[in-house]
Structure 1
């Protein structure tokens, strides 16, 4: 369990606030990233779960595909947690870039498996396009907001602090982080946990021929 002292260390700075009506490039990009890209992720995630359910995933590609979905959520989730809670430095940017590449490769594996074992409709494929591009979009906006850290990463980031997980100097509000956590729980964790449970149960039941 994280100690109170550790939590206070990671919440020690003044909370980041975007001034109302601010229309400069930095605040506009940050507002769109936090209140546009992040919540938008939940919509295709739920829609994709519905498509899996309609195509009877538990009796087709089953546990294997559901496990790939869990892997993809991990690949997307780790850099999101780092970006929302830690200082964006060369380490976090490298994590985002590497995770985006891994997520894309896993998505290709997922579709290759799914199309061989169940019907993947054009609608589901279109939903996948959103799920694939949103991690890249988030990484791109983060890069634009922290170009100084990109330069450090390209130069090798000689300082050791560049390659450590450090708390944000201006952490996001607890209210915002709580809202994102609730959205992840309701729109991603619960639906896909239910999917995995269905797949495991179906595998345990012998098929009737």
Structure 2
């Protein structure tokens, strides 16, 4: 296992911790569905970025798409905090967990982009194309299974709790 594998797992575990903290602060009866929906948006954005990274070769074009996704994730994170802040206490531990969740996509983007942007390849006649990369089955499994178990499943369970409590959260 590499350092990047460890950092990826740390990021996913931070997501799990965040959902545990949401449950402890009664998100289902405070900020409710609005905040939980924004969590699904953030996971959807980063999940899309992860799938694109797995499917396509690392090119400057892919890096720009991933940059746009990371920016949208940051914006959704801001809206998420705005939705939670007036109605739910965000304890210091949750704020620190959010720091990990906020910075991890930028670190990953930098790790992908640094070799691409610093190499400055010579222009070619092929133009910009996203070609399939050779992500192994092991890479796919390592990227997706922990993400599904540690972030997607807790997010869906949180959303279900909020959906069931939506009348009390108003």
TM-score, normalised to structure 2, is 0.89
Task: State the match for 1:99 in structure 2.
Answer: 69
Query: Structure 2 vs 1, CA of residues 206 and 95 (structure 1 numbering), >3 Å: closer, same or farther?
Result: closer
Q: Which moved more, 1:192-201 or 1:104-113?
A: 104-113
Q: Equivalences for 1:37-48 in 2 at 5 Å? A: 37-48=7-18
Q: For 2:63 and 2:45, how far apart are their aligned partners in 1?
A: 14
Larger Rg over CA atoms: 1
Task: State the match for 1:87 in structure 2.
Answer: 57
Q: For 2:125 and 2:32, how far apart are their aligned partners in 1?
A: 47
Report if the CA contact (8 A) 1:79-1:92 is conserved. no
Report if the CA contact (8 A) 2:30-2:87 is conserved. yes
Total equivalences in the alignment: 170
Task: Give the secondary structure class of the aligned counterpart of 2:58.
Answer: coil
Higher relative contact order, structure no. (Cα contacts within 8 Å, ≥ 6 residues apart): 2
RMSD in angstroms over aligned alpha carbons? 2.4
Task: State the match for 1:194 in structure 2.
Answer: 157
Task: State the match for 1:4 in structure 2.
Answer: none
Report if the CA contact (8 A) 1:45-1:131 is conserved. yes
Q: Could you tell me how far 1:180 is from its partner in structure 2? A: 2.1
Query: Structure 2 vs 1, CA of residues 205 and 122 (structure 1 numbering), >3 Å: closer, same or farther?
Result: closer
Q: Could you tell me how far 1:206 is from its partner in structure 2? A: 9.0
Query: Structure 2 vs 1, CA of residues 194 and 147 (structure 1 numbering), >3 Å: closer, same or farther?
Result: same
| Among candidates 133, 144, 150, match of residue 181 of structure 1 | 144
Query: Structure 2 vs 1, CA of residues 147 and 62 (structure 1 numbering), >3 Å: closer, same or farther?
Result: same
Task: State the match for 1:59 in structure 2.
Answer: 29
Report if the CA contact (8 A) 1:42-1:187 is conserved. yes
Runs of 4+ in 1 over 3 A off after TM superposition: 157-161, 204-207
TM-score, normalised to structure 1, is 0.73
2:86 corresponds to 1:116: yes
